[in-house]
Each structure stands twice: as structure tokens, then as C-alpha cells.
Chain A
Amino acid sequence: MSKEFLGEFEELVLTMVAALQEDAYGAAIAEEIETRLKRDVNLSAVHVTLYRLEDKGYIKSSLGGATNERGGRRKRIFTITSAGMSMLKAMKDARLDLWKLVPQLKMITG
């Protein structure tokens, strides 16, 4: 498991899936990234990444309900698997370990 790595965008999407829980589907994730990170993402990139993560076994999916905004189309709700969760954790820990190596400088204000 530790041999596998996630790209930056993959990690971001995976985190989003974990965060949004029942509301994790393509358009919502894209929207969330856009509003929270002020970062332009395009829908197809999110979809492709979701499918790739599903292939790798970090998330699983099932078809959920339809809404008016979606023209009656159902959404595919993604949920994070335990493998995904531990991957995310491992990545976060590794990141923190590395962060500790950085000399903690005081922020200079002004």
C-alpha cells in the first residue's frame, strides 16, 4: 500500500470525498473545491480522478437520488473506503513529519 502514491489533485479529491460524506458526487466536489480553495477545476478532471480513485480501491460508489437541478438524473455518490482512509492518513502523517523538519521561523509581519 505504501508503495502507491497519490497525485496532488487525487489527494485533494479523495479528501473532498471523505469530507463531504453523503454529498460526495462529481459536481458537488468540483463546486466545493472552487469555493473553498478558489481554484478553477473542470468537471471532467474531477470525474476522471474519481473513476481512477475508484479503480485503485480508495473509494466506492453507488447511484443516489435525482434532483430537479440535475434534470432528473441520478448522482453517483462516492464514499471513502478504509483503504482510502488509511492512505489519506498515511499521507497526512508523512506530510506532518516532513513539516517538522522545517526550521520553525517566526512569521515576520509588516
Chain B
Amino acid sequence: MFQEHLMNNNKPHPPKAALRLLSWFCPTELYEEIEGDLIYQFNKDVKTVGEKKAKQKVLLNVIRFFRPGILLRNRITIPLIPIYMLFNYLKVAVRVMLRNKSYSFINLFSLALGITAFAFLFLWTQHEFSYDQFHTDKDRLYKVFNRTYTNGKINSWDVTARVLAPTLQEEYTAIESAISYTAWGEQHLFIEGDKRIVKTTGAYADDAILTMFSFPLIKGDAKTAFKDPMSIAITEKFAQELFDEEDAFGKTVTIGEGSESFTLNVTAVLKDLPSNTDFRFEYIIPYKLVEMLSGKNTQWGNNSVYTFVKLKEGTDINQFNEQVKDVVQKHNKDADQWEVFLYPLTKMRLYSRFENGVPDGGRIEVVRLLAMLGICLLAIACINFINLSTARAQRRSKEVAVRKVTGALRNSLIAQFLCESLLLAFGAGVLSLVAVYMGLPYFNQLISLHLTLEFTNLNFWVGGLLLIILVGLLAGSYPAFYVSAFKPVKILKGLVISATGKSRLRAVLVVFQFGIAITLMVSVFVVQRQIAYLQNRDAGYNKEHLVYQYFTGSLKKNFEAYKNELLARGVAQSITKTSTPITDRWSNSDAMEWEGKDPENKTLFERIYADDAFATTAGLTVVRGRDMDPEKYATDSTAVVINESAAKAMGFDDPIGKRIRDNGTEWHIIGVVKDFILTSPWGQVEPVLLFGCVNSWPFSVAHIKLSAHHTLQENLQVMAELSKKYNPDYPFEYEFVDAAYARKFADLETTRTITLVASFLTIAIAGMGLLGLSSYMVEVRVKEIGIRKVMGGSVFSITRMLTWSSLKPILIAVIVFGPQAWWVMNWWLSSYPYRISVGLFTIPLAALSIIGLAVIITSTQTIRAARTNPVNSLRNE
């Protein structure tokens, strides 16, 4: 060695890495001589070809030794022991599982439930994060927002003037393209051959829409598709509807009919939009066409379209926002304090709520909440495994001791127990894969999406495997360390490890489990009560027998005849045509004027136009004045009926006869109706003005109060018949107001289902864990119970004692997590202006139901134990 060091200092020596490589694959018994030969060769080479070349040659020579003649001389002796032991571990694991079928079942099943719930929530979360991330230039895409100052508060909203997009494009060099975009749900009739299809899923957009965003084109050129105004882009699905299997590209399709019909060329066929985009359309009609027909809308005060912008590469968004913010002020003298800013498209889905002008979360909160829920469910399932295996560790103590005595290292014991938990996690993973596969259609229905499992995607399998390994390690590592630390001397001497359920950690984990259970239970109660509360809220109008029908085709033209015949045949009690269904907002303004208006008052008033007796048709309660009746009063063409909120907002004590100016017309108030819900059943009631109107332009829908003298079936039959008569080209379509109203609850109902399912799962998993723990506790204490009975303990007192010891952590959970649940639910409710309070009794009620459930679960075990004959438990030993 000494020699070698000397030599190393003076002479060049072969690269260490090459020799290390050799040592890695070369059999040990051959290593020394081969290495020696290589060094010999190297030293010779240094003299002939120089050090650098010689080093390269060493590496080359080493690589040449990587051949079967050398490799196969490796005796596979080193890994033999772990593999052999692995089989032993697996064998023991399977035997242990089979010996305690009920515990294995609890472990496996609760882990499977946890993983399944986690997988569903993960799929959903992942989908939420992928919204509009597929656009190639997503980092340069922005939506234009307004920032307006009213009553000292900043409002941020995203509906802009039609003229904004062309103005931006023209005046700001940093903008590559800017478009207006709308998807109002306007009805279009498509005619192709003898097919007539009515669609409301169209969008109007400027030409650049196809180049800005990356909606995949099947056919057509994104750059030139809308060169001609008479063109249309349609999705694959719609193309199939129109043209069946034929190639839609280059074909023509007719929209509308009679004098108002156009023939458009299909200049682009798009792939169906993916579900992870907030754009929703089946066809795009260029704005050029709309403007050719109805003129350009150059009013800055009319905000009704979305504006999207693509910046040039390298533009600093903050700087640009500084530049662009006064664009509306420059063009619109009325809009002082009106600013514009760009907000990233990629943030629209999750971060698009603004509070006083700054971004303030949004949907991301729901996503986070549900992601947390998923993690909690998984954790609860892991806790079951941890608790049951540490509690039952005593059973394995002899095995551990024997293994240790025969020479097992602690590490190999840890490996053994991790093997067991991994095996279990793997089993649970397979179960939950099946469960997710089978349950996905229901889950999709619940969240109204179409999520799929990507079986062909490698990431799916790798991710799944990683999850399973993670779960196995999480659940298994504590038990593995705990059990492997047993001292063999104590165990083999017969000292019993205390395993009566008195572990502090175990208690803490149970507290955590039931804490989550109680939180979810409370939320189920609160959500349920809130929904019931909102559904029982007086809408302010009578939804029953109230139907609305959109004006399609010639229905608007023939409305009077249609109306008269419906009334004459006794089908309808009252019919009113209006600008919107009573369940929707249509138009609003903060610029109305009236006598004695405070100039600072910027209350937003909702407009509804109605031709006749809307209060009667919708069942609104007139509290002052009268309903509209243009037949009787000719002046009702400029009459307005307001609701109580509007009267209050305008500061009228006696509103009747007062005048209001709006849109250049002077209106007089003839009546006041009780507040009614226009938009959301949980919001504040908006101030609403019902304008009388003789012109026909604002009207798009007829409200029909059906007669109660006939059955619904009969009424609808007559309506269908008359619709066919007066509007032969369009299918008969109608909507019940109560159904439309009920749809407002869809989101809340999803929340209810999710909390219901999640709390059911939590309670199921935690309950199973409790069952396992209490049955084990009873098993361990069987002698104690026997002695107590012999000493005269009653079944009741013993049951009480045993149950009490299981219940303690649950009581602690109630005390610790109850207030937190109350706080969470208060937070949730705070987003509903019209809401219940969490209530004093909600938490005790939830606590009682959880405790009740826990008592039932534990007493199944404890009563049986308390009733057993002490002879059976005490006779042996």
C-alpha cells in the first residue's frame, strides 16, 4: 500500500471511475487480476501513446470487459438472501392476514375506500387545474376586465364594449390580436336538406379567434377561415348532426329562413371542444356578418361582450396594464373613473374573483377544500391501519422476538412490516381501481363532467403505483418502527407488552378521525338546512303552472293570434310577453334618473320589459297602485311597475305617479309589487323595474299562466297544437318556471351530495376502525372481564366501563373539533346573503349522532364480552 501511494504521487494513474465501473460488474474473484492487467496495460500505454489516450483506452478496455464471458461468471449469491426473505415475509404476511380475516377486511376495505375517494377527488382537481391550459400561447392570452369605482368600492367585471377590441388592436402596438367574443345562447335555426336543427350553442367572435386560441382544427385554415363574412366554423359533432358522415368542410348551411336567412360556407371544422375549457360553443359566426346585418355597435356605454387579447411576445403585462388602463376614459366622456386591465386567461377558471379591485381567490377555494378532503379521507384510512396494527402488535411480538434471536436485524424487521403494509396497500389499490372504474360514470354525473381513466397513459400507472407505495409507507412505517423495537428478552421471558389501547398516539389519531367525521356531519346538517331554507324562501311570484316559451321563428309575429287563441280555448289564464324569463336578468343600469336623485347614488336597477299585466301572469303581489293594462290606459306604454326594493332605493315614500328617466324616455310609476327573486335565491333582492312597452324589439319570451281547469297534459297538448299552427317550422319548446328555478340549486345540491358522500365515507372508515379497536380491546381484556364478573360486576357496569374507554377519544374529538366545524360552516354560509345561522343545536346534534353511532359500534363488542361466562375466559392457564 505504501508503495502504491508513492507511485500514485509520481506517476499517472488510470481513471478511478473506469475501475469502479469494472468493480461493479466484474466477479470479485476475478477483479484483482483484471484490474492489475488493466493497470499494467495503462502504464505501458502511457509510455507509447501518452497519458490522455491511455486513460481513454482504460475506459474502452473496461467497457470491453462488459461481456457475457465475464458477466455470467458472477455467482448470483448476493441478492439471494433478500429475495428469499422477501418470499418469507410475503408468506407470513398472507398467513397473518388470513388468520385475522375480520381485521384484514377492515384494513383492506377502509384503505380501499380511502384510496377510491382520494382518486376521485384527485381526478377532479387535476381536471380543474387543466382548464384552458392547452392553448399554445396561453401565457400571452388575457381577458379584459373593467375596474369601476362606485360608492367608494371598486368593482371588477369582465363584460366590455364591442368597440373595445378593435380599438385596442388599433391603438396599442403591444397587442398581437384582440377579439370580441360572446356566447349569449341566441337561437339559430339551421337548415340542411330537409333537416331543421335549432341550436343555442353558438358564439360570435372576431376573425382572430382561431389563431389566438388553440382549438384544434380538423379542416380549414385558422388564418383565413373568416376572411369572407359569409362563413361559419363548426365542431365535429355538429358537423355530423348536419351532414352525417359527409365531409362538412366547404359545404354550405342555411341559417334562419324566409327573408332573414343566410347561406354560410363551412370554412373550418373544429374538433369538439375539450371539457377543460370555459369556452362553450358548437359553431362560431364571425362578428363581421353580424355587423353587416345590423350595423356596427360603436357605443362605449353598451357593455355586452367579452374581449380577449393576445399580447406580442416579450410584453411586460404590468407595464402594459399601466398603459391600457385609461382606454375607455379616452373614448367615453361619461366614464370617468373607469379603468381597464388584462387578466391572464389561465387564471380565469380558478382565480377570477375580485374583491375591491384585487384578485381574491375564486373557485380555487373549492378545489383546495376538496383536495384537502381527499387527503383527509386517505389519512383516515391510513390511521385505521396504524391503529389496528400497533394495537395488535402484541400478537406479533413472539414472532418478532424469535426473528431477532435468530439474528434478524431491526432493519430487516422494518422491511418485513413495510412489506406487509405495501402488500395490503397494493390489494387496496387494486380494489379501488375497480371501484373507481365502476364508479366513474356516477361521479361524472354528479359533477356533470366526462372524466376518464387513461389506461394507456404511463403516468396513470406510475402515479397510481406511487400513490399505493406512499399509502403503504405512510400506513406502515409507524407500526414497523414500533413493532421492530420490541426487546426479545422481555418478550421471551413472558413479559406482556401493554396493548390495551392506552397508546397516546392511537388516541390522538382516533380524535383526528372523528374530528373530521364530526366536521363533515355538521356540514351535512348545515348544507341540508340551508338548501331547505332557500327552497322555502318566498320567490315573490307564483311558480306553479307558469310556463315560458322563447319566441322562435314566426311565433313573435303571430304572438297576438297565438295568445288570443290560448286564452279563448281556456288553456291560459294570462299571457305576457317579456324581455326575459323571470328567472334571468337581462339588462341593468346605474344611470337611471328620477326626481330628487342623489347624484352619488349608483344603485344598479334591473330592467324587464313587459307588454301587459305581468304582475297577474307571474303572480306578483301588487302592494300599491295597479298592474299594467295598456288596453284600458293608453298611457301605459310609458308606465313602469317597480318592486319594493326599487322604491326604497329611489327613496320614494309614495312612488305612484313619480317619473323616471331611462334611455332617453320618461316613465311614470303606476304600481309597486312585492320583492321577488330575479336571479339567485340566496342573494339580496335586486331593485327591478318592469317597463311597459309597445315596441316589439325587446321581447324574446312569452310567460303563460296555464289554466288550472284542465290538467297539465291537456294544456300542453293544446299549446303544442297551437305552436305548430303559428310557428310551424320550429319544434315546440317550453320551460316550466319552477324547473328553471330549481336549476339554480344545482351547485348547492352538488355540494350537498359531496358532503353527504364524504361524511358517509369518513364515518364508515372511522367506524370500521373503531369496531376493530374495540373488538381487540375486548379480546385483550377478556381475563379482566372474567375476574370482574366473578367478583360480582354486572353486565351493565362492565359494558359501561368498556364502552366508556372507547368513547373517550370521540368525546375529545367533539370538544376539539366542534368549534372548528362551527367556524368552517359560518365561513361557508357567509357567501350566501340570505342564509341560516349555523345554530346552537347543530353541533350538539351532530355530536350526538356520532357518539350514538360510536356507542352502537362499540357495544356490539362490549355487550357480548360482558355477557360471556367467566368460566370460559378463566378456566385455562
Contact = CB atoms under 8 A, between A and B. Distances in A.
Contacts of A43: 37-38, 41, 61, 64-65
Contacts of A63: 32-33
A25 B30 CA distance: 12
Nearest to A27: B37
Contacts of A72: 1, 3-4
Contact of A73 (B36, B67, B69, B73): B36
A63 B64 CA distance: 23
A66 to B, nearest CB: 7
A44 interface: yes
Interface string A65-92: 0111111111110000000000000000
A26 to B, nearest CB: 4
Given A43-B41, A47-B30, 5 more contacts: A27-B41, A42-B61, A44-B67, A69-B40, A70-B36
A51 interface: yes
- Candidate in B7, B14, B41 with the most chain A CB atoms within 10 angstroms: B41
Contacts of B69: 44, 47-48, 51-52
24 contacts: A26-B33, A27-B36, A31-B44, A42-B61, A43-B64, A44-B65, A44-B67, A45-B64, A47-B37, A48-B69, A51-B30, A51-B69, A52-B69, A67-B40, A68-B3, A69-B40, A70-B36, A70-B39, A70-B40, A72-B4, A73-B35, A73-B36, A74-B32, A76-B33
A9 B101 CA distance: 65
B554 to A, nearest CB: 92
Contacts of A75: 33, 36-37
Sorting the interface of chain B by its residue count into under 10, 10 to 19, 20 to 34 or 35 or more gives: 20 to 34
B30 A73 contact: no
5 smallest A-B Cβ distances: which pairs? A73-B36, A48-B69, A70-B36, A27-B37, A71-B39
A49 to B, nearest CB: 8
B67 A27 contact: no
B60 to A, nearest CB: 9
A47 B36 contact: no
Contacts of A44: 61, 64-65, 67, 69-70
**Of B4, B37, B41, B73, which is in contact with the most chain A CB atoms at under 10 Å from its CB?**
B37
A96 B65 CA distance: 36
B43 interface: yes
B64 A70 contact: no
Contacts of A52: 69
B33 A74 contact: yes
Interface in B1-30: 1, 3-4, 7, 13-14, 30
B73 A51 contact: yes
A35 B513 CA distance: 80
Interface in A11-25: 25
B63 to A, nearest CB: 9
A69 B39 CA distance: 7
A66 B34 contact: no
Contact of B36 (A30, A31, A42, A71): A71
Contacts of B14: 71
Nearest to B70: A48
A76 B44 CA distance: 19
A71 B41 CA distance: 11
Contacts of B38: 43
B32 A47 contact: no
Contacts of B13: 71
B18 to A, nearest CB: 13
B9 to A, nearest CB: 13
A22 B1 CA distance: 25
A75 B33 CA distance: 5
A32 to B, nearest CB: 13
A73 B39 contact: yes
A73 B64 contact: no
A65 to B, nearest CB: 11
A74 B34 CA distance: 9
A78 B1 CA distance: 25
Nearest to B64: A44
B67 A70 contact: no
Contacts of A42: 61, 64
A67 B40 CA distance: 9
B4 A70 contact: no
A52 to B, nearest CB: 7
A74 B36 contact: yes
A31 B3 CA distance: 25
Nearest to B42: A71
A25 B37 contact: yes
Contacts of B35: 71, 73
A43 B42 CA distance: 12
B99 to A, nearest CB: 50
Given A27-B41, A52-B69, A69-B43, A47 B3 contact: no
A70 B66 CA distance: 21
Contacts of B44: 31, 69
Given A48-B70, A52-B69, A73 B61 contact: no
B1 A26 contact: no
A44 B25 CA distance: 13
Contacts of A47: 30, 34, 37, 65, 69-70
Contacts of B4: 71-72
B7 A26 contact: no
Contacts of A26: 33-34, 37
A9 to B, nearest CB: 12
Contacts of A31: 44
A66 B2 CA distance: 14
A25 to B, nearest CB: 7
A43 B58 CA distance: 10
A44 B37 CA distance: 10
Interface string B680-719: 0000000000000000000000000000000000000000
A27 B45 CA distance: 12
Contacts of B39: 69-71, 73
A63 B33 CA distance: 8
Nearest to A67: B40
Given A47-B70, A75-B33, A27 B40 contact: yes
B29 to A, nearest CB: 10
B84 to A, nearest CB: 28
Contacts of B7: 68, 71
Contacts of A27: 36-37, 40-41
Contacts of B37: 25-27, 30, 43, 47, 70, 75
A60 to B, nearest CB: 14
A27 B41 CA distance: 7
Most chain A beta-carbon contacts within 10 A, residue among B30, B33, B41: B33
A25 B41 CA distance: 13
A44 B1 CA distance: 26
A97 B214 CA distance: 83
Interface in B382-416: none
B359 to A, nearest CB: 66
Nearest to A55: B73
B33 A25 contact: yes
A44 B35 CA distance: 11
A48 B37 CA distance: 13
Contacts of B40: 27, 67, 69-70
A52 B13 CA distance: 30
A6 to B, nearest CB: 16
Contacts of B64: 42-45
Contacts of B61: 42-44
A84 to B, nearest CB: 19
Interface in B47-88: 61, 64-65, 67, 69-70, 73
A42 B7 CA distance: 26
Contacts of B70: 44, 47-48
A76 B37 CA distance: 10
A74 B35 CA distance: 9
A53 to B, nearest CB: 12
B36 A48 contact: no
